């Protein structure tokens, strides 16, 4: 019997060698999650407790320095990741292009509840222009002291696009 993740990958057209093609191993979905507030469109976001605490502390410290950090995305389930990819396929995108922006279900760092996509006022979310903001400068200088690091620098080993907005307290892996 095939694993449900294999069946889902077949349905989405994810290449069979995806997990052996320089991509880190699959992640387990976090189960113990806490709410950390709504994202830009009002959808409640959740993280594992330790990361949630670090996120809240980092947001408060940034605010004390006059920098606004807003959460775009936190925890994502395997099912939610699959819906994101289906939506892009239905919009005419090809899976090879999608996988440079979104990890295959089961391989997203967001499944751990330890990753956040960050935005700030005055900058379009989830775009490279984020690196030109005071928020990015603040994160570059201070995020490490809260246990966060940027997962996808330029020319990262996973072939994922540069994502200055994606920060994590966990092991680096595709978003």
The 10s digit of each residue's pLDDT in 81-139 is: 999 999 999 999 999 999 988 889 998 999 999 999 999 999 999 999 999 999 999 99
Residues in CB range of 168: below 8 A, 6 or more apart: 109, 112, 114, 115, 116, 148, 149, 151
pLDDT of residue 174: 45
Return the higher-pLDDT residue of 167 and 103: 167
65 burial via Cβ count (<10 Å: 0-12, 13-18, 19+): exposed
Residues annotated catalytic, as ranges: 163
Average the pLDDT over 140-159 and give the result. Answer: 92
Per the DSSP assignment, residues forming a β-bridge with 117 are 73, 166
Whether residue 175 has pLDDT greater than 50: no
Whether residue 77 has pLDDT greater than 80: yes
Q: What is the largest CA-CA distance in the chain?
A: 55
Phi and psi for 107 in degrees, rounded to 5? -115, 10
The whole-model pTM stands at 0.89
pLDDT of residue 3: 73
Residues in CB range of 89: below 8 A, 6 or more apart: 12, 13, 95, 98
Domain at 4-168: CATH architecture: 2-Layer Sandwich (3.30)
The enclosing H or E element of 73 equals strand 70-73
pLDDT of residue 28: 86
């Amino acid at each position: 019997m095939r694993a449900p993740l294999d069946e889902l990958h077949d349905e989405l057209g994810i290449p069979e060698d995806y997990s052996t093609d320089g991509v880190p191993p699959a992640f387990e979905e976090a189960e113990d999650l806490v709410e950390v507030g709504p994202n830009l469109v009002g959808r409640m976001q959740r993280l594992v407790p330790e990361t949630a605490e670090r996120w809240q502390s980092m947001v408060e410290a940034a605010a004390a320095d006059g920098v606004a950090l807003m959460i775009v995305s936190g925890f994502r389930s395997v099912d939610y990741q699959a819906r994101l990819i289906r939506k892009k396929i239905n919009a005419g995108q090809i899976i090879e292009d999608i996988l440079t922006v979104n990890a295959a279900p089961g391989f997203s760092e967001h499944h751990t509840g330890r990753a956040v996509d960050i935005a700030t006022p005055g900058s379009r979310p989830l775009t490279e222009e984020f690196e030109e903001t005071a928020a990015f400068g603040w994160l570059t200088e201070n995020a490490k002291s809260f246990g966060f690091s940027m997962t996808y620098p330029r020319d990262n080993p996973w072939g994922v696009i540069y994502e200055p907005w994606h920060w994590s307290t966990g092991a680096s892996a595709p978003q």
